Amino acid sequence: MTVAPPGRTEIAWQRLSPRMLLIHPVHELLRELPLLIGGLVLGSTTGNQSWTVAVLALSAVVGVARWFTTSYRIEADPESGQVQLRAGLLHRKVLSVPRNRIRSVQTDARLLHRLFGLAVLRVSTGQETRGEHGSGAFELDAVRVEQVPRLRAILLAESPQPVDATTTEPVASSTVLARWQPSWLRYSPLSLSGLLTMAAASLGIAAVTALAGYIPARRATGIDPMRALRWE
């Protein structure tokens, strides 16, 4: 249990958007695509598709567990406070960034994030972010789009108040540059992440289709015609 220093209020850890419970399993499945193809090939060879089901189940479990094991918090003081991200399934790590060193806050919305109204929030200090158990990029993957203006204002020290998950009111001083429109979804597959996702899915389907046709053909060419006639 973490004890807050004297004079500093302990801020509760918060989870990311629950909608990531639908996105994380898909991302895990894309990462394990070679393993899935191997399971399909092994299942076609042995006639047992339990390997394929096992890979699908493992991807779903890891994706759901990733959301439950990821949390963050933003301390109230913009001068001495920190932004902390706690993540990791087996190897737990905590990334910490002092609020007074934050130089920029960037957002990114991939294909699935756009479909579910989410955005990835990246915090940059101009140098590498290091955690208690290593180093890595500091990003909140992902938060709701309507929370982005307020989170950006807080992270850039425009507001000293801590983040409250129940409050989603935008900052009055923020300027709206653009508003998301549902018609933009038709252009989502044309983004780089969308094209890469479709390319990976197409390659996986093509590989599975080719292997599914190759294995029965290979078996057929290995049959002795005389033995086949005897069985008839």
What is the full DSSP assignment across 8-77? -PPPPPEE--TTHHHHHHHHHHHHTHHHHHHHHHHHHHHT-THHHHHHHHHHHHHHHHHHHT-EEEE-S-
Per-residue pLDDT of 14-53, as tens digits, reads: 999 999 999 999 988 888 888 888 888 887 788 788 888 8
- Closest by CA position to 60, among listed 40, 32, 88, 83: 32
Q: How large a percentage of the chain has pLDDT more than 90?
A: 22
- Closest by CA position to 37, among listed 221, 219, 202, 192: 202
Per-residue pLDDT of 191-231, as tens digits, reads: 656 666 666 667 667 666 666 665 555 555 555 555 544 55
C-beta neighbour count of 77 within 10 angstroms: 15
Comparison of pLDDT for 117 and 43, the residue scoring more: 117
